[in-house]
Amino acid sequence: MARLEYDNVYVPVVIQTVGGDLRLKGREGDRLIVEGDDPQVEQIAEDQPYVINSGGDCRVTVPTHVTVSVGTVGGDAKVLDLDSRVDIQAVGGDLTVRNVKAIQVKTVGSDLRLKWADGDVSVERVGSDATIREINGGVWVASVGSDLYLRNIEGGCVVENIGSDLVLSIDFQADMQYRFSAGSDILCRIQPDTNARFVLPAGTNIRVDVPAEVEVNEDEGTQTITLGEGGPTVHINAADSLRLVGEGEEYMINLGVQIEEELETRLSSLEEQLSKHLEGLDERIQVKALQFASQAEKFAERAQRQAERTAERVRRSLERQQSKNKRRAAGTRASVSRPVQPVEPVTEQERLMILQMVQENKISIEEAERLLSALDESQSQSQQRKQK
């Protein structure tokens, strides 16, 4: 792995082509550092941008204040800690972005994770899932192949097309534009004392778990959900269903987020400790240590994705179990002539404890499903004995 260093860098940096994975990180000072598999760095003139190409993996450290643009990355890309605008054309694998200014992304082949942007966010296409959080600006998304999770967006938010589910956790602001379209369901967490109006097609299924007024306008073919005194209008252009929930439902949404934040905190701490130890070491030792850090980083990211998938499987398992319980309770009421008390479901506290056990790797997903089933069955049998 080669290492190239350039001092007094104040012009833009253009990462033209990276054949493997890219790790781009901002750092105080004026030094540009490029490490990778035979990287090539070119500057035509003193006031011209630095142009970087690499056939394999590449790690680039730039001064935080310079403008950066990324052309094509064949593998995964991670972009961290840049106090300037970032433009990204195409990433073949996953893209992770954290702590940047305004950012524009053209194409991501797999998943996108974007967190802490101090400016507007523009995303044209994501092949799989996307998470966009903590944005001090507006968000525009053209297309996401699967699920999208949006949280804490300070500006307006427009989502043109989502292949599957959309989860919203946004404090809707006056004079902002909100427009969403999803191929499947939309779940929106509502803050207390929210004032907003949701306008959606009349045929869309709705479930409102917070105080609201629902009106149907047959002439226009729309239905309106009014929260509080109304306020900013949220347009739902397409969705199978819309569900509005209060803060009490947030633990279901946030389980994967909690796992992500914990892993990010541990990884950031590891990177800081490694940077301190690298200072003053022989260059060959630095290269070996950085290779090890890159492998550890990839392992942490794989563990994060596995944890998120596990949380999603638990959530869907709980929903299936709730559906079975409802059908079982309905069958019991139909077959008994005298009034029957409904079977008390597993409490939310018990479900949360089981989810926490899965998160801490104390039990597997299969064990969690069996435990939930056993709890429901035990409560059902207890209720039946009381009836006899």
Whole-model pTM: value is 0.69
Using the predicted structure, report yes or no on whether residue 329 has a pLDDT greater than 90.
no
Tell me the two tokens of residue 236.
């739902």
Tell me the two tokens of residue 223.
């239905």
The CB density around residue 163, as the number of other CB atoms within 10 Å, is 18
Q: CA-CA distances (angstroms) from residue 218 to 54, 180, 200, 205, 236?
A: 59, 22, 12, 15, 17
pLDDT tens digits for range 355-387: 767 666 666 666 777 777 766 665 555 555 555
- Fill in the amino acid letter for 58: C
Nearest partner of 112 among 138, 82, 83, 142, judged by Cα:
142
The whole-angstrom separation of Cα 225 and Cα 281 is: 63
Place of tokens 């069955």: 377
pLDDT tens digits for range 112-154: 999 999 999 999 999 999 999 999 999 999 999 999 999 999 9
Q: In the structure, what pLDDT confidence band is assigned to residue 345 with cuts at 50, 70 and 90?
A: low
Strands 196-201 and 222-227: antiparallel
Consecutive H or E run containing 166? strand 166-169
